[in-house]
Amino acid sequence: MSETIEYVYCVVPATLPLNGVPRGIDREAVRLVAHADIAALVSSLDAGEYSGDKPAERMDDPEWLTPRAVTHDALVMWAGDRGAVVPFPMWVMFSDQAGVTDMLAGKAADFRDTLDRVSGAKEFGVRVSGDQVSLAAAAEKMDSALAVLEQQASVAPPGQAYLLRRKLADARKAATRDAAVRIVEQTHDALSSRSRASIARATALANEPGVLLDGAYLVADEEYEPFRTVLTEIIATYEPAGMRIDFTGPWPPYHFVRDN
């Protein structure tokens, strides 16, 4: 067994300059291993500590795992701030540099396609959440028929009012379910229209409280301001009704390189 293993953070264009690159895991140096026009950003780590199942055996140790995870993400972010990047999950390792080169050669076409697809773009996250109360409030604003039923029930004779209020209660339940679906669809469609690619990672189901949409959006640099304008309009529409909308990013394109 070699004394070191090669730990891969991401794949980048081989022309990426390493000026100012942060240190890697365990403060090891970071370098490029290239194949033609693509390269892996790597560090050489102690094989005695990282080979085989050793990292898996320490996944439940936050004091050991956290600084390594932070370093991994920092390297991917650093590369993503400077151009196209294909992020790797943690613990992609090879026994030697030749293994890294073989990996790059074997998937060179896929890596090139992915780098082209994400070049000049960043990933952003948008999460929409709301509980039963906020969804009900949104439904009242979105469905004018509820106000009509409420008015009819308020002036009807007691027997008819009872039936109308039962009908109103059922209508409110259905409207609340519909509101969740409509909020998700309208939000995701509007943001997707300003994105190069998008993924809805959660959807509203049966009026469940909590997260309605957890979306990831690959936004071209020139579309960032239009994307933010659309998001501002969504916030202005739904937050007064009690929806919570969280916006995060920019991130490397973690959710748009899954095939690699």
pLDDT, one tens digit per residue, over 65-112 is: 999 999 999 999 999 999 999 999 999 999 999 999 999 999 999 999
Q: What is residue 205's predicted lDDT score, i.e. its pLDDT?
A: 47
As a whole number, mean pLDDT of residues 236-250 equals 86
What's the whole-number average pLDDT of the chain? Answer: 85
Among 9-13, 61-65, 181-185, whose mean pLDDT is lowest? 181-185
In the chain, the amino acid numbered 50 is Y
Give the residue ranges of DSSP H helices in the chain.
Answer: 47-50, 54-57, 62-80, 97-106, 108-118, 132-142, 144-155, 158-192, 224-238
Which pLDDT belongs to residue 259?
59
Is 86 within 8 Å of 212 (Cβ atoms)? no
Confidence label for 130 from pLDDT (cuts 50, 70 and 90): confident
For 23-46, what is each residue's pLDDT tens digit? 999 999 999 999 999 999 999 999
pLDDT of residue 187: 92
Q: Look up tokens 């027997």; give the residue.
A: 159
Peptide linkage before 157 cis (omega within 30 of 0): no
Query: Is 145 strand, coil or helix?
Result: helix
When pLDDT is cut at 50, 70 and 90, the band that residue 240 belongs to is: confident
Packed helices 158-192 and 144-155: angle between N→C axes, nearest 10 degrees:
170
Q: What does the pLDDT read at residue 208? A: 43
Tell me the mean pLDDT in the region 220-241: 92
Give 153-208 pLDDT, tens digit per residue: 555 566 665 555 565 565 566 656 666 777 888 899 999 999 999 998 755 444 44
Residue range 52-70: mean pLDDT, rounded? 91
Among residues 92, 124, 100, the alpha carbon closest in space to that of 38 is found at: 100
Whether the full predicted model's pTM is greater than 0.85, yes or no, is no
Catalogue all structural domains in the chain, each as residue range(s) with its CATH number. Answer: 4-119 (no CATH), 122-256 (3.30.70)
Cβ atoms of residues 168 and 185 within 8 Å:
no
Indicate if the pLDDT at residue 10 is higher than 90. yes
